């Protein structure tokens, strides 16, 4: 793949002439209209790049270019020949609001919300291609469109208010993010939702539901979640113990803290599986040593990094030197 700030068709042809046996070419760059001419590309590829099998491009047109609807249609027409649509099956889309001309579905949008619509100007007839390319989706309210390959789901509303089973394949979800500021989400709703997502392993809360904070019983245990991120600072660290009961196999934890004393409390009370932790805080007045972490963790198989806004720990398993067996 080639990423170039700006280039014209003459310069690019000179480069490509050096690679007559090229089979894969991908480029992203700013460009003038000459680089977007499908007719020129067809002639050049047919004569000079006979072995080319895959050609992906994303052209960001320079701001001085002005096009009306006729100009857009002329560009589309240049990519609508038998060569493009039948022989090579290379398709493009134009999003003139963003001055983009790009290969479909290679450079199609991968994140969307319920208001997402495919580009109007495209050489491909099947608009499902664009919906199927979305892997991160934000939902609120109902929608009539189906996104079949979403891996990251952002829930802005209560899931009970969304026709979620009609919109996405829940078994494809790997990351579940609760964005809503409404913290009245019930633990039953959370549990039922996760239970229907067999591949979800990571969750994130922008605001902690009261049902989790007030959780007392051990009825709900969710072992498939291995990563949790908390975007708001916790009012009470007792919630960490509750999280550890509900999600007993957490390996990765990202959260905000008030002080370094919180680090000790969190590491002491959280999952034995914990291997990666990121604490977000102002570290300008914090002095931490390896010995400090060693006393908390209880062994030396770890490393850490501190920058201005975070403290990150990578924790390995504790080795028992008396039980090491060497085979020769």
Q: How confident is the model at residue 327 (pLDDT cuts 50, 70, 90)?
A: very low
Q: What is the mean pLDDT of residues 86-98?
A: 94
Q: How confident is the model at residue 324 (pLDDT cuts 50, 70, 90)?
A: very low
Contact 83, 128 (CB under 8 A): no
Q: What is the pLDDT of residue 32?
A: 86
| Residue matched to tokens 């196999």 | 249
State the DSSP H helix or E strand holding residue 311, giving kind and residue range, or none if neither.
strand 310-315
pTM of the model: 0.84
Q: What is the pLDDT of residue 268?
A: 86
17-71 per-position pLDDT tens digit? 999 999 999 999 998 888 999 999 999 999 999 999 999 999 998 877 777 889 9
The Cβ of residue 54 has, within 10 Å, a number of other Cβ atoms equal to 13
183-233 per-position pLDDT tens digit? 677 888 888 899 999 999 999 998 888 777 777 666 778 899 999 999 888
Percentage of the residues of the chain whose pLDDT score is greater than 70: 93
Contact 135, 149 (CB under 8 A): yes
Q: What is the pLDDT of residue 120?
A: 94
State the DSSP H helix or E strand holding residue 64, giving kind and residue range, or none if neither.
none
- C-alpha distances out from residue 145 to 26, 109, 153, Å: 31, 15, 15
Whether the per-residue pLDDT at 325 is higher than 60: the answer is no
Q: Which residue has the higher pLDDT, 55 or 320?
A: 55
Q: What is the pLDDT of residue 85?
A: 98
Q: What is the mean pLDDT of the chain?
A: 88
């Amino acid at each position: 793949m080639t990423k170039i700030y700006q280039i014209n068709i003459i310069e690019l042809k000179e480069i490509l002439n050096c690679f007559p046996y090229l089979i894969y070419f991908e480029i992203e760059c700013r460009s003038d209209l000459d680089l977007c001419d499908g007719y020129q590309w067809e002639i050049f590829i047919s004569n000079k790049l006979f072995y080319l099998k895959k050609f992906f491009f994303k052209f960001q047109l320079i701001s001085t270019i002005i096009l009306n609807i006729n100009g857009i249609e002329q560009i589309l027409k240049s990519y609508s020949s038998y060569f493009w649509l039948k022989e090579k099956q290379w398709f493009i889309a134009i999003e003139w609001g963003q001055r983009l001309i790009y290969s479909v579905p290679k450079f199609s949008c991968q994140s969307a919300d319920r208001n997402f619509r495919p580009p109007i100007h495209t050489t491909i007839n099947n608009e499902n291609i664009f919906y199927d390319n979305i892997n991160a989706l934000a939902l609120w309210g109902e929608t009539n469109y189906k996104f079949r390959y979403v891996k990251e789901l952002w829930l802005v509303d209560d899931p009970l208010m969304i026709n979620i089973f009609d919109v996405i394949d829940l078994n494809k979800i790997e990351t579940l993010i609760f964005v809503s500021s409404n913290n009245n989400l019930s633990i039953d709703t959370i549990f039922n939702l996760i239970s229907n997502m067999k591949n979800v392993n990571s969750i994130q809360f922008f605001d902690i539901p009261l049902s989790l904070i007030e959780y007392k019983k051990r009825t709900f245990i969710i072992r498939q979640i291995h990563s949790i991120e908390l975007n708001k600072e916790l009012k009470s660290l007792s919630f960490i113990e509750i999280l550890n009961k509900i999600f007993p196999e957490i390996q990765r934890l990202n959260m905000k803290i008030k002080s370094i004393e919180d680090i000790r409390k969190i590491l002491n009370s959280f999952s034995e599986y914990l291997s990666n932790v990121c604490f977000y805080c102002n570290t300008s007045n914090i002095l931490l040593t390896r010995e400090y972490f060693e006393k908390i963790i209880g062994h030396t198989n770890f490393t850490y990094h501190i920058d201005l806004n975070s403290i990150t720990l990578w924790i390995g398993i504790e080795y028992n030197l008396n039980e090491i067996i060497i085979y020769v």
